[in-house]
Amino acid sequence: WSAGVFLGDSPFALKPIEHWGISADAGAAWPVANPAVTCADVAQSGSPSSFVASPFLFLQGGGIYMFFETKNPVTSQGDIAAAVSKDAGATWQQLGVVLDEEWHLSYPYVFSYNSKVYMMPESSKNGDLRLYRALDFPLKWTLEKVLLEKPLVDSVIINFRGSYWLIGSDLSSYGAKQNGELSIWYSSSPLAPWNPHRHNTIGSMDNGSSFRNGGRPFVYDGDLYRIGKQSGGVSGHSIKVFRVEILTANEYKEIEVPFVFDKPRKGRNAWNGARSHHLDVQWLPSSQLWIGVMDGDRVSSNDSVHRLTIGYMFYGVTLLLVLLLGGLIGAIRCTIPLRWCVPHTEKRDDFFHSKQQFFLKYKLSSLFSSLNKLGSLLGGRINYRTWKGRVYVVLVILVLIFLTCLGTHCIYGGNGAEEPYPIKGRYSQFTLLTMTYDARLWNLKMFVEHYSKCASVREIVVIWNKGRPPVQNELKSAVPVRVRVEDKNTLNNRFNMDEKIKTRAVMELDDDIMMPCDDLERGFKVWREHPDRIVGYYPRLAEGTPLEYRNERYARQQGGYNMVLTGAAFMDHGLAFERYWSKKAEVGRKMVDSFFNCEDVLLNFLFANASSMSTVEYVKPAWAIDMSKFSGVAISRNTQAHYHVRSKCLAKFSEVYGNLTAKRLFSSRGDGWDV
């Protein structure tokens, strides 16, 4: 579980913070992206954490404070932690755990009353509902009083039409339904005695009229709205909003209202791809916007159990195949001890019971005998001493290895998510650019469907050079896809200025290159560390007199590289495209048009010419498939001719722009990403 920040003109029009293009140079985030708070952030502040959930906001003194549940993996219980933002929710500073009891705490509902700040966390494991008062906000709290001797969960207090209302769920009551019922109390003050509603318990999930609280109620345009959790597992899996029509001591009525929220389509690669169960919204005067915080998880509640079950099923099938193979080659014989086959009893009363046992053992003996005969029969038909029999044995062994690997992956391989890498606890996004034309449409479809699910991809821009462009419904994508149709078929289009790009980082990626999302995420992290460089996956070394274009194998033999191909590379599009279309680059662009090649070589020279420092950096992909090998539309199928043209470009570019930067060594990073 993590927490994300959302902004909007109304509580019903919230967009994730990355939608607003807010940047944070300190975290190399252009723009800032969700999640805003993770368990890793809490752990770095000195408090062990395995997840964060149920965030609440409180505005005070020019800061936005976020209080949330954090689970301590050492004690296996929830504590209350806090963070503060001084820039309207763009970045958050962790304050650590602010409330820790001997029992589980969650749902830290924070509010003010008579100029004092109070917190009402869930403490149902202690059997009551407690109210704490801030002694030194937000770090120090003291118990004010026990409000109710009931184990209420997800409780809130609101001041509405002259009275205070406490709304929660008592799951310990007889017949209570998980997530499906509410209880209401009312009072003249949060500190005064509470009176139960006439119709407690209120609502039932059966008729869809009510759901367990999923955040702070809010007032918008004079109406009171309550946030609820839609049923799904222990804590729900999505959010519902209800407008409260009647709230009195004797009656309660609410109706569900539309709550349109753009659900993530990236599956478990999205931080909230599987479920969300909490939302808190506040009016932010400094920005004249509504700010909301929502928690989310990338996997379902039973994901680990499901993976364990599947993994052990694979192990079970593997064991059965081992027994079958052993019987086939005669290494395993099924037998039972002889003494099991002889009926015996010490007492006359045990005769009937002994007879039943003997019958079961007899049936087991018959089964083992049949299995042995089957093994002998198969062994006779498939003689493992012949070449044909050995092929069968090898195939079975390969299947065993495959099933064992699958089982091990399910149990120990994690949840399968390819998560982004933060810098200083902050995430960002980039735009993916690819250049193609009509003859490569089949490549483009695979490209878009695969890369649109990568966590940090904000948008895919297709640079369309020739032929009929695709329509939107031809491309299956989890992110927006924009097709930019060019007037002229030239490789220079790859670096055309584009004011519609919303991110600082772009990744230029040929549509015939397929690699895991994790490789893109690692490359993006490296670029965020050095945004003035070209960070790519295909290193090259140009050296000699005159300069000669060499491949990656040669570069590794020489121990270093001084170029990276921009067919798979990150860059600052404002910086790179401006250099490419400068007056200085005009000669190079004409050569690119002349050879229909070398646009990436030119950009490497332009970066090298602008700095005396290293301007390129390599990241090794876990694997990469060049799909052009399976088609006839690649421009570099004739490798020798392709390298010859590039060597010509090197000679000309070195005359015009000078030398490339000094050779950068492989394995220069501490994380081993460039080995």
CA distance 593 to 489: 9
Return all residues near 596 (Cβ < 8 A) that are at least 6 apart.
490, 491, 635
The angle formed by the CA atoms of residues 591, 594 and 597, to the nearest 5 degrees, is: 75
Provide the 8-state DSSP code for 269. G
Provide the 8-state DSSP code for 199. T
Whose CA is closest to 517, among 624, 410, 406? 624
Residues 363-402 as b/e (b if ≥16 CB within 10 A, e otherwise) read eebeeeeebbeebeeeeeebebeeeebeebeeebeeebee
| Residue 433, helix vs strand vs coil | strand
CA distance 452 to 474: 14
Q: Distances in Å between the alpha carbon of 659 and those of 212, 276, 336, 553?
A: 67, 54, 81, 22
Whose CA is closest to 448, among 457, 467, 623? 457
Beta pairing, strands 664-665 & 457-464: unpaired
- Tokens standing for 193? 């005695």
Whose CA is closest to 656, among 575, 593, 565, 591? 591
- Tokens standing for 278? 């909490």
Whose CA is closest to 544, among 651, 617, 653? 651
Catalytic option among 280, 600, 626, 671: 600
Q: How many helices (H) and strands (E) does the chain have?
A: 11, 34
HSE-CB for 371 with a 13 A CA cutoff: 18
HSE-CB for 189 with a 13 A CA cutoff: 5
Q: Is 519 a catalytic residue?
A: no
Sequence-ordered strand ranges (E) for 161-296 = 163-170, 183-187, 195-196, 218-220, 223-230, 238-247, 252-257, 279-284, 289-296
CA distance 2 to 66: 13
CA distance 152 to 278: 17
- Tokens standing for 440? 């490569």
Contact between 36 and 4 (Cβ < 8 Å): yes
Beta pairing, strands 616-618 & 534-536: parallel
HSE-CB for 479 with a 13 A CA cutoff: 26
Contact between 257 and 239 (Cβ < 8 Å): no
| Residue 376, helix vs strand vs coil | helix
CA distance 153 to 200: 15
Catalytic residues: 600
